[in-house]
Amino acid sequence: MHWYCLQTESRKEHIAKNNLQDLDLKSYLPVFCRVIRHSRKITSTAKPVFPGYLFVSIQHDFQFSQVKRTKGVKAVVSAGMRPIAIHSSFIQQIQAQEDSQGYVQINQGRFQPGDLVNIQEGALKGLQGLFHCSMDDQRAMLLVHLLGNMQRIDVGLNEIERHIA
């Protein structure tokens, strides 16, 4: 069994995945949980780890023509005219980073909820806070003591460092 990378139409990864599954082809769309904060409302949504791409397992060459005609699929990632095979261990490594809900943990191992962190840049430079969660692959939510209360703030992951006592 070989895995191949497919380029999808813009923001049609889920459509392509569902259509491939309708053809009884095994597909994999790694997603992460993105937390969106808007007007005091916090929601989470699944976003592709590799926007515009997904993976499909193809066992027979004749399946390539089916895949290329699948709604939502733009192209098979190729070198010239030859599709590039992806070793199954690459897919397994991504799957190994998934949590119990199937979300890939992008920030895995760097910060854990409850870690004491220092804000190194920006308007809040010098403050300490508790790491609460990753909002996506670039932002994090912290709990900091401001104005006499614990406040939730979001900062760039590149703006914080683990506090070393």
Residues 18 and 70 sit within 8 Å (Cβ to Cβ): no
**For residue 134, what pLDDT is reported?**
83
> CA–CA separation, 157 vs 17, rounded Å?
31
Predicted TM-score (pTM) of the model is 0.70
Average pLDDT, the chain: 90
Phi, psi angles (nearest 5°) of residue 90: -65, -45
Fold of 116-162: SH3 type barrels. (2.30.30)
> CA–CA separation, 66 vs 25, rounded Å?
10
- Which residues belong to CATH 2.30.30.30 in the chain? 116-162
**Over residues 131-154, mean pLDDT:** 89
- Which residues belong to CATH 3.30.70.940 in the chain? 2-96
Task: List helix spans (H) across 11-148.
Answer: 13-22, 63-68, 88-96
> CA–CA separation, 55 vs 87, rounded Å?
11
Please identify, in words, the CATH class of the domain defined by 2-96: alpha beta
- Could you read off the pLDDT of 91-136 as tens digits, one per residue? 999 999 898 899 988 766 688 899 999 999 888 999 999 999 888 7
**For residue 123, what pLDDT is reported?**
87
